[in-house]
Chain A
Amino acid sequence: MLLEIKDLHAIIKSNGKEILKGINLTVNSGEVHAIMGPNGSGKSTLSSVLAGHPAYEVTGGEVIFNGKNLLELSPEDRSHEGLFLSFQYPVEIPGVSMTNFMRAAVNEHRAYKGEEALSASEFLKLMKSRSEYVELDSKLAGRAVNEGFSGGEKKRNEIFQMAMLEPKLSILDETDSGLDIDALRIVAGGVNKLKNADNASIVITHYQRLLDYIVPDFVHILYKGKIVKTAGKELALELEEKGYDWIKKELGE
C-alpha cells in the first residue's frame, strides 16, 4: 500500500470552516486513481492537505504514505518521501530561475537519500532530457519560475518538474485545464512515460478527455468533502453524459 487515507477531516485555518469531512482512500503502487467532483467540493483542498499546505489544519483521521505518518512530515520531507503535487494554479516566482529552483530541489532530494549533489553538467543533462518528456521549450528553463508562462506552459512545467523528481505518488490537480488538444496529448504522454509498477497517480479532472490518455483504474467522486462513490473508468463516462445531478439524487438530495 502506497497511500492510505483514513477518515481525514480538515478545516481552513483562517475561518475554521471544515472542507474535508472524512475522506477514505487507498492507493497502491501501479494504480491510477481519478478524482472528479463538482467545483468547490474539496478536491484541491485534499491535494493541498496531502502536500502539507499551512493554510489547512487536519482535525481528524490519518494518512499513511509509504509506511510513514504523512501528516507529521514537513512539506519538503513529503516531497523527499516521494509525494508530488502538480498545482491547479502553479505559482509565479519572479527572480528565481527555473534552473536554480530545480537544482536546489533535485540536490535536496539527493541529499535526503544520501546521494551527492549532481555536477553542473550532469544537472543540465538531466534538465534537458526531462524537458523533452513534455516538449518544454528550452527557453522556459532559462526564465523565472512560471513568470509570464502561459496557462498551458505552466501545466507543462508542472509535469516537467514531476519528471525531474520522479515521485512515487503524483497528484495532478486539473493538469488538463488550459492545455490545447496537442498539448494535452503531449503532457499526458509525459505522465504515461513516467508511469511504472512502483509509482501511482491521483488525477483530478473535470473531463473525460484526459482520462482517454491517462486511463484510471478507479474513479472517485468527491462531493461536499467526502468520497461518495467509487467505480471503474466507466464512471467518468457516465458523469460526462449525465452530470452530477443523479449522484445528488442517489444521495437523497
Chain B
Amino acid sequence: MVEQTYKDIYNKFHDELLGNSPEVLNSVREEAFEVFERMGFPTMDQERYRRSNIPSLFEPEYGVNIKHLMVPINGQPFRCEVPGLHTYTFYVVNDVFASDVNKEEYNALKEKGVIFGSLKTIAEEHPELVKKYYAKIAPHKSEAVIAFNTTFAQDGFFVYVPKNVTIEKPIQLINVMHADFDFLANSRNLIILDEGAEAKVIVCDHSEKDRKFLSNRVTEIYIGKNARYSHHKMVDSARATTSIGGVYIKQMEGSTSNISDIVLNAGFVRNDVHIDLAEKYAETTLCGVCIGDEHDHIDNDTFIEHSASNCKSTELFKYILDDCAVGSFAGRILVDQDSQKTEAYQSNKNICSSTHAKMYTKPQLVIYADDVKCSHGATVGQIDDGALFYLRSRGISEKEAKMLLKLAFTNDIIEKIDIEALRNRIKVLVEKRFRGEQHRCTICNSCK
C-alpha cells in the first residue's frame, strides 16, 4: 500500500512537523491525518477518479519535506514576465514561500493594510485571522487528497485584503518545482478578500524538466460580501511533472469571481475546482483551456454549488488534444432546494485532432429548485473540415490552417480573462504551443 510510507513518515516525524509549524496549521493536522488514514488515496473505482490513478502518482519514494527545507535557486530566479503587465510577484519554490516581503516593491500593499506573505509566517503573526479561514473551505474531512495536503502542509502563499480595499496591480504567484532530486511539494495557499475588497491573482506553475516532481497544491479562497476577485492559473510545466490539488472558493453575498485555468504544458494534471456560491447574488465565471499532446493527461473535476438564491455561474472549458493525450472534464452543478432564480450555464467543447487522443466529458446537473435557468452542453469533435478547406483554398498551408482554427477555438475562452495584457500574452503562448515552438517554461526568462 502506497499510503503506508506516508503514514509512517507522519508517525515518525510527527513531533518535528508540529515543532516546525504554527499552531493554527497544527490544530487540524491530527484530524486530517485520521481522515487520510481511514480513506487512503482515492482509487479509480471511485466515480470522480475514474480517469486519474492517484495512488500510482505517490508510488515513487518522494518522502515529505518535513524540515521545510528551501532548495535555493542559483542564478537568475524564474521571472514570468507578461509584457505590459506589472504585478506584485511572489514565489513558492517547491513548498516553501521564497520571497522577501520586506522589499520596497511591496510597500504599496502594506500601505493599504494588506497582509501578505508566507502562510507559515502569517499564521504565527496573525493566528486569529488565519484560524478563522484556514481549513474551512477545502473539505479535508471528505477528500483524501486535501486531507493529505492538510496533514503535511506547512507553508504557501497568504494574502488578506481588508474591507473595501482594492489592489489594482495583479498579484502574481509563481510556483516553481526545482530540485536536483525527485520531489513531492505539498503547499497550501489562503486568499481572503474582506467585504467589498477587490484583487486579481495570476498563478504560474513551472517546473524543471530533469526530475520527477509531484505537487499537491491546495488553495482556499474566501470572497467576502460584494468583493470582486479574479484568479487566473497557467500551468506551464515539464512533462515529468505531475500536479494535483485544487482551488476551493467560498463566495458571499453579491461577490463576483472570474476564474480561469490554462493548461499550456503539463505531463499529468488533476485539478479540482469547487466554488460554493454560499450567499445570494454571488456570481462566478469559470473557464478553462487545456492543451495536450503526446501522452499528456489533463483531468479537471469542477463543482459549482448554488447554495443560495439569485446566484449565477457560467462555466466554459475547452480541450484540444493531439497524439495520445487524454482529457477528462467533469462538471458538477448542484442547485440547492431554496436556490430559486439560479442561473447556471455550462459548456465543454473539445477537439481531438488525432484518432488516439481521448476525451471524457461528464456534465452533471443536480437541480432541486424550481425557478432556475440552467443549460449545459458537451461536444467532442475534430477540426471543421469545411473551414479547413476554405482556409487552404486561399493558400494557407494545412498546418497553418489547423493552427488558426485551433487558436480560434480557444479564443472565446481566453477573451473571458479580465486582464488585457494577460489575455494577449496567453494568446501568444497558446499559438507558440500549437506551433510547437517552445516546449516548456515559455514565459520564464531563465529557461530561454
Q: Select the stretch in B186-194, B233-241, B322-330, B401-409 that faces chain A.
A: B401-409
* Among candidates B400, B410, B411, B412, residue contacting A108 with C-beta atoms closer than 8 Å: B400
Instruction: Tell whether, in the assembled complex, residue B412 and residue A76 are in contact, meaning their CB atoms are under 8 Å apart.
Output: no
- Shortest beta-carbon distance, B350 to chain A, in Å? 15
Chain B residues with CB under 8 Å of A54's CB are 385, 389
Complex Cα spacing A145 to B391, Å: 10
Closest B residue, CB atoms, query A109: B395
Closest to A108 in B: B395
Identify the closest chain A residue to B415 (Cβ): A95
Cβ-defined contact, A76 with B409, below 8 A = no
CB under 8 Å from chain B, chain A span 159-181 = 161, 165
Q: Which of B362-416 contact A (CB under 8 A)?
A: 384-387, 389-398, 400-401, 404-405, 407-412
Q: Are A80 and B395 in contact (CB under 8 A)?
A: yes
Query: A81: nearest residue on chain B (CB-CB)?
Result: B395
A-side interface size class: 20 to 34
In angstroms, Cα B389 to Cα A85, docked, is 11
Question: Closest residue of chain B to A164, judged by CB?
Answer: B394
Contact B395 A87 (CB under 8 A): no
- Whether B391 contacts A95 by the Cβ 8 Å rule is no
Within the complex, what minimum Cβ distance (angstroms) separates B54 from chain A? 35
In the docked arrangement, what's the CA distance between A117 and B425, Å? 23
Establish whether residues B404 and A100, one from each chain, have CB atoms under 8 Å apart when the complex forms: yes
Distance (whole angstroms) from the CB of A53 to the closest CB of chain B: 6
Count of chain B residues with a beta carbon within 8 Å of a chain A beta carbon: 24
Q: Which residues of B contact A76 (CB under 8 A)?
A: 392-393, 395-398, 401
Q: With A54-B385, A104-B400 as known contacts, state yes or no: A93 contacts B395, CB within 8 Å.
A: no
A90 at the interface (CB under 8 A from B): yes
A91 interface hit (Cβ, 8 Å)? yes
Question: A105 on the interface (CB 8 Å rule)?
Answer: yes
Given known A-B contacts A93-B405, A94-B408, A95-B409, A161 and B387 have beta carbons under 8 A apart: no
Contact between A90 and B400 (Cβ–Cβ < 8 Å)? no
Contacts of A94 in B (CB 8 A): 408, 412
In the complex, whether A231 has a CB less than 8 A from a CB of chain B is no
A104:B392 contact, CB within 8 angstroms: no
CB distance from A54 to the nearest CB of B (A): 7
Which residues of chain B come closer than 8 Å to A51, judged between CB atoms? 389, 393
Asked whether any CB of chain B lies closer than 8 Å to the CB of A42, the reply is no
* CB-contact partner of B395 in A53, A79, A95, A145, under 8 A: A79
- A91 touching B386 by the CB < 8 A rule? yes
Given A101-B394, A105-B395, A165-B395, answer yes or no on A75-B405 (Cβ-Cβ < 8 Å). no
Tell me if A129 is interfacial: C-beta within 8 Å of chain B.
no
Report if A225 contacts B (CB, 8 A): no
Q: Which residues of B contact A95 (CB under 8 A)?
A: 405, 407-412
Asked whether any CB of chain B lies closer than 8 Å to the CB of A112, the reply is: yes
Shortest beta-carbon distance from A94 to chain B in Å = 6
Q: Report the minimum CB–CB distance from A48 to chain B (whole Å).
A: 9
| Cα separation A78 to B392 with both chains bound (whole Å) | 9
A112-B412 contact given A87-B390, A104-B400, CB 8 Å threshold: no
9 inter-chain pairs at a CB distance below 8 angstroms, sorted by A residue, are A52-B393, A55-B385, A76-B398, A76-B401, A79-B393, A96-B391, A101-B394, A104-B391, A145-B390
**Chain A residues close to B by CB (< 8 Å):** 51-55, 74-76, 78-80, 85, 87, 90-96, 100-101, 104-105, 108-109, 112, 144-145, 161, 165
